[in-house]
Structures are given as structure tokens and as C-alpha cells.
Amino acid sequence: MYPMLHDFYLSRIVKEKDYSRFILLTFGKGIRKLRPVCSVMNRMLPVSAVVAFFLSICGLVINGEVLEFCDYNDFHFPAYMIIFCFSIFLHEVGHTISCIAYSYRLTDAGILLVKSLPIGFYVAYEPKRSRVKKEEVQLSLAGIEVNLLLASLCILAGSVWPEQSFTLFMAAYSNLLLMIANLMPTEKTVVDGEAALCALFEIKSAIKLSQKWLRSDRRRRKLLRSGMPGIACILIFKAIRFSNRYYLVLNVILSLSPMLILLWKT
């Protein structure tokens, strides 16, 4: 039985340059039938995520006394882990919805591996020949928008359900961390932040562009002479470089921070 499982595992592995994909699901042509529904959901997702987050924060400010009843002793770890894993899954569902809405050809979905270590889920698709900036940016940010929407729903639920508020607020915090982790550009793997920047500014690599401008004294002086816009560019380039250099360290810190909060509370 073990050799069969081993062969099945190897047959599902697709090796890329810096990472590997373990395929769990392949997509057929029948998924195109979902395009009308996905188009509506894709248009609603950015606005609904931002509006829901604004309303959740307003509700938390208005109903501030719920924080007084927020007790870490009521933390329900199994429920938290279910919401957390569901959030990672729905992040990729967001990308899938956007792919279907824009008629991208989905190929497969599964687990992303770096040196045999699972670091998350993925959805693979074939790029279009004719590139549309708006579509590519939304496709890159769809998963992040889902996490923002889930964080908002958790905050709203915690505001009206004080008995489970700590668990729900921790779930909201974890969704915000997933947003940050996916927004940080890196060369080590394909993440939403790098893809969104490349699509928005129509460049091949935001990281290589930042390195190109920061390594050249002439280019840095040119940016400084342009005033505040140039200074802002330098700060953005430095943030991109920092994210790329310490991506794994930052992700470990973000991943452990919920547990550190619990230990600090106890």
C-alpha cells in the first residue's frame, strides 16, 4: 500500500523553479457555466469587503462594551482552527471566482510546497494573450478581499455574540494577517502582492525594479530631486526590498502572533 501512495504522491507533484505544486483538483470545461454567477460575485467582492470592514469597525466602536466581556478563557481553539483553515480555503475560492468571471482557463488547484514544506493553497490558470490591467489586478487581489470580508464578518459576529467574542476576534485578526502575508512581495514564491504590483504598473517584477533603482546612485538622486513623489518611491522600493529579504521570517512572526497573544493573556 505504501509504494502505491508514494507513486500517487509523486504523480501529483509539479515542480517549478522555486516551488512545487501538489495537485488536488483539476478543472474541466463545465466550470464555465458558473461565469454569470461568478461575474456578479467578482464585481461585488471589492466593494462589499471594504464596506463590511468599515461597518464592522463602526459597530465595534459604537458597541465598545463588548470588549469588556472579551475573555480569553472563553477561547475555543477547535472553532478557531476551523475558521482559520476555512479562511485559507476561501482565499483561493476568491481567486477562482475571479478567474471564472474573466474567462481564464483554470487548470488545477492544490497545495503549494517549498522544499516539500506546505505553505498554502493555490489555484493555477493559463494567462490570456490579451492582457487587461483591471482584470489582472482584481484577479490578484480577490483572495485578499475575501480575507477582509471574513475578518469583517468575524468582528460583526463577535460584537453581537459576546460569549464567543474572543475566538471570533482572533479569527478576524488571523484573516487580517493572511491579508498582510499575501500582500508582501517576494521572489521566493508567487504571492498576490507581487502579482498585483506587476499588473498595476505593467512591469515584469516589482522586486527587480526596486533593486534596480536602489542600487544605482544616479537613479536614487534622480528620485530625490523629484521631491515628495520620488521620496515616496524610494520608501516603497525599500519596503519591497525588506519584504523580499525577510519574507519567511515575517511570515513566521505573523503565523505565531495569535499564539503569542494567547500566551501573553494567560
Per-residue pLDDT of the chain (266 residues; tens, 9 = 90+): 334 444 444 457 777 776 778 888 888 888 888 999 999 999 999 999 999 999 998 888 877 676 666 666 778 888 888 898 899 889 999 999 999 999 898 888 888 887 777 777 888 888 887 878 899 999 999 999 999 999 999 998 888 887 788 888 889 988 998 898 888 887 766 678 888 888 888 888 888 888 888 888 888 888 888 888 888 888 888 888 888 777 767 767 766 777 666 666 55
pTM for the structure as a whole: 0.83
Q: Report how far residue 109's alpha carbon sits from residue 96's, in angstroms, rounded to the nearest whole number.
A: 9
| Backbone φ/ψ region at 115: left (φ over 0), alpha (ψ -120 to 50), beta | left
